[in-house]
Structure 1
Amino acid sequence: MSLAETCLYSDEIHPIDIVETLAERHEWEFDRVTEDQIAMAVEGQWRTYSLTLAWSPQDETLRLICTFEMEPPRHRMAELHDLLNRCNDLVWTGAFTYWSEQKLMVWRYGLLLSGGQTATAEQIDRLIASAVSASERFYPAFQMVSWAEHPPCEAINVAIAEAYGRA
């Protein structure tokens, strides 16, 4: 049975139930924090990313945050924020922000499911993949600005563009 069929024929189509099924299928470490929230670890090329997905029934939004630790030198914060703006100009499915108190780089996105709509397993899988892909794509640029002291206009050039077609 496919993932879509597994979720389609289950008694509940709660978005976090779908995420939990995806995490099991991908063999990601996860913890069902509450009925409406799940936390998991997804291994990337550069590092392991912490993802949290939470369902908000009040505003019918499935919220995703993908984080990784980062503690840039204080004197590089202006350049890092410049780079964040440049990164956000290149993506349409979420946005980066830096949470200085927690020392976390954050990718966040909210999937609006108003009017009783339900997300499909494929949508949620794509949502998670997009978060990890964006983090992987821009991670080298964040490092170059923070630690190698490259200017943001140069560091953004190392962000690997999405490839289309076949090799």
Structure 2
Amino acid sequence: MSLAEDFLIGDDLHPIDLVETLAADHQWEFDRVTENQIAMAVEGLWRTYSVTLAWSPQDETLRLICTFEMEPPEHRLPELFDVLNRCNDQVWTGGFTYWAEQKLMVWRYGLSLAGGQYAGAEQLNHMISSAITSCERYYPAFQLVSWGEHSPADSMKVAIAEAYGRA
């Protein structure tokens, strides 16, 4: 029986329960923050990423946020925002933003499950893997533009077509 079938047997299918099972299966460190939220640490090639998934029953939306710390020099912020826009032009799911106050680079994605829809294990695993893969792919570009004094266009040349990690 698959992981998704295990959850379909019961009447209550909660997306965070399924994510918790995925985290345990992948042996990721995790903390079930509330009934509707889980925080995990997922190791990539460049760094360990903080991944949080939160379920909003009112909006019927599952929100994924993947973050890593980043403190670029103030004078490089315009170039960082330029490279963020370039990255976001290349991705189809989710998008990057920089939270300056928290000094975090953020990948965000919201999955609408309106009308009683549910996310299966494969879909949730894909969401998490996509977030980590995107962070891994563009991490070098963020570093080069922030500390290497490279132009946004030159920094984007290092964004590889596909990153390989342990997501």
Instruction: Determine if the TM-score, normalized by the shorter chain, exceeds 0.5.
Output: yes
Instruction: Tell me, in whole angstroms, the C-alpha distance in 2 between the residues paired with 1:9 and 1:63.
Output: 25
Query: Which AA in structure 1 matches 2:4?
Result: A
Partner of residue 18, structure 2: 18
TM-superposed CA distance for 1:8, in Å, is 2.4
Q: Does the CA contact (< 8 Å) of 1:7 and 1:121 recur in 2?
A: no
Q: Does the CA contact (< 8 Å) of 1:41 and 1:50 recur in 2?
A: yes
Three-state SS of the structure 1 residue aligned to 2:105 is: strand
With the length of structure 2 as denominator, give the TM-score of the two structures: 0.95
Partner of residue 64, structure 1: 64
Instruction: Tell me, in whole angstroms, the C-alpha distance in 2 between the residues paired with 1:44 and 1:9.
Output: 33
Instruction: Tell me, in whole angstroms, the C-alpha distance in 2 between the residues paired with 1:96 and 1:83.
Output: 10
Counterparts of residues 88-127 of structure 1 (less than 5 Å): 88-127=88-127
Instruction: Tell me, in whole angstroms, the C-alpha distance in 2 between the residues paired with 1:114 and 1:5.
Output: 21
TM superposition outliers: structure 1 runs of 4+ over 6 Å: none
Instruction: Tell me, in whole angstroms, the C-alpha distance in 2 between the residues paired with 1:158 and 1:12.
Output: 45
TM-superposed CA distance for 1:58, in Å, is 1.0
Query: Which AA in structure 1 matches 2:138?
Result: F
Three-state SS of the structure 1 residue aligned to 2:133 is: helix
More deviation in 5-14 or 89-98? 5-14
The number of aligned residues is: 163
Unaligned runs of 5+ in 2: none
Three-state SS of the structure 2 residue aligned to 1:114 is: coil
Instruction: Tell me, in whole angstroms, the C-alpha distance in 1 between the residues paired with 2:28 and 2:148.
Output: 32
Instruction: Tell me, in whole angstroms, the C-alpha distance in 2 between the residues paired with 1:14 and 1:95.
Output: 25
Three-state SS of the structure 1 residue aligned to 2:157 is: helix
Q: Provide Cα deviations, 1:18-67, integer angstroms capped at 9, x if missing partner.
A: 10010010000000000000000000000000000000111100000000
Partner of residue 85, structure 2: 85
Instruction: Tell me, in whole angstroms, the C-alpha distance in 1 between the residues paired with 2:59 and 2:149.
Output: 41
With the length of structure 1 as denominator, give the TM-score of the two structures: 0.95
Instruction: Tell me, in whole angstroms, the C-alpha distance in 2 between the residues paired with 1:15 and 1:81.
Output: 33
Q: Does the CA contact (< 8 Å) of 2:69 and 2:104 recur in 1?
A: yes
Say whether 1:76 aligns with 2:82: no
Unaligned runs of 5+ in 1: none
Percentage identity across aligned positions? 74
TM-superposed CA distance for 1:3, in Å, is 1.9
TM-superposed CA distance for 1:2, in Å, is 2.5
Instruction: Tell me, in whole angstroms, the C-alpha distance in 2 between the residues paired with 1:12 and 1:114.
Output: 16
